[in-house]
Chains A and B, each alone.
Chain A
Amino acid sequence: QQPVQSPQAVILREGEDAVINCSSSKALYSVHWYRQKHGEAPVFLMILLKGGEQKGHDKISASFNEKKQQSSLYLTASQLSYSGTYFCGTETSGSRLTFGEGTQLTVNP
C-alpha cells in the first residue's frame, strides 16, 4: 500500500519554509526521500532509518517517527532550485521501496 504524502502541492516564495509529510500504515525499516525535476530522473536526497533519527543536508532536513510510521521533510529558506516533485519511498522489507504519489513544490521569485 502506497504511503500518503501531504500536501499534494505547495507554492512558495523564495526564502519561505515548507514541510512535506509522508505517512504509512505499515511498520517501516526506513524512509527515502527523492526530488524529481520536470523531465529528469528522480534524485536521491536522504534516507532515514528506524530509530527516530533526524538528518539534514544544507537547508533540507527530515525526521522519522518510527512509532507513528511517519516522516517529514523540512525545506528551510527555500531556493528556486528546490522546485520539483518530492517523493517519499518507504521500505517494509528487503531493498524494495513503495513510493508515495508525490508533492509538487513550486518556488517563485
Chain B
Amino acid sequence: DVKVTQSSRYLVKRTGEKVFLECVQDMDHENMFWYRQDPGLGLRLIYFSYDVKMKEKGDIPEGYSVSREKKERFSLILESASTNQTSMYLCASSFTTTYPGNQPQHFGDGTRLSIL
C-alpha cells in the first residue's frame, strides 16, 4: 500500500512565523502535490512538483513556497504565516505516465494548521 505521511496532524503557530509542513511518500512517485482544504471550497492546489528540484505553481501559491530536495520528500513553507492561512493542508503523490490521466493521487491524512 502507498503511504503518504505528513509530519503533523495538528499544528499551532503565531502570525509572522516561518512554518514548515513536511510530506514523505514511500512509493517512488515522481509527482507530489500540496493542497489546502477549506469548507465549501474543496481542495485547492498550492504547488506541485514533477521531479526533484522542480516545482510548479498551482492555483493559490501566494504566501507559500516549496522545496523538493529528495524524491520522496516535499515540503511546504509558509514564509510569514498569517491568520488567513489557517486551514487543513493535504499532501498527495502519484506516478507519471506517458498517457495523461490514468494514475490516481494518494493523499496523506492532512495537517490542520492554526495561525494565531
| A-to-B contact residues, CB < 8 Å | 2, 29-30, 32, 34, 40-44, 47, 49-50, 87, 89, 91, 93-102
A87 and B100 contact, Cβ closer than 8 Å, known pairs A42-B107, A44-B105, A98-B59: no
* In the A-B complex, the 9 residue pairs with the closest CB atoms: A30-B101, A44-B104, A41-B107, A99-B43, A101-B42, A29-B101, A91-B101, A29-B100, A99-B42
Which of A47, A95, A101: most chain B Cβ within 10 A?
A95
B41 within 8 A of A: yes
Other CB < 8 Å A-B pairs besides A30-B102, A43-B107, A91-B101, 14 of them?
A41-B4, A41-B109, A41-B110, A42-B90, A44-B105, A89-B105, A91-B100, A94-B50, A94-B100, A95-B94, A96-B33, A96-B58, A97-B45, A98-B45
Q: Contact flags (1/0) for B69-105 with A, using CB distance below 8 Å?
A: 0000000000000000000001000101000111111
Q: Is the CB of B104 within 8 A of A101?
A: no
Q: Which residues of chain B have C-beta atoms less than 8 A from A89's C-beta?
A: 43, 105
Q: Is the CB of B104 within 8 A of A47?
A: yes
Q: Is the CB of A47 within 8 A of B102?
A: yes
Q: Which residues of chain B have C-beta atoms less than 8 A from A49's C-beta?
A: 101-102
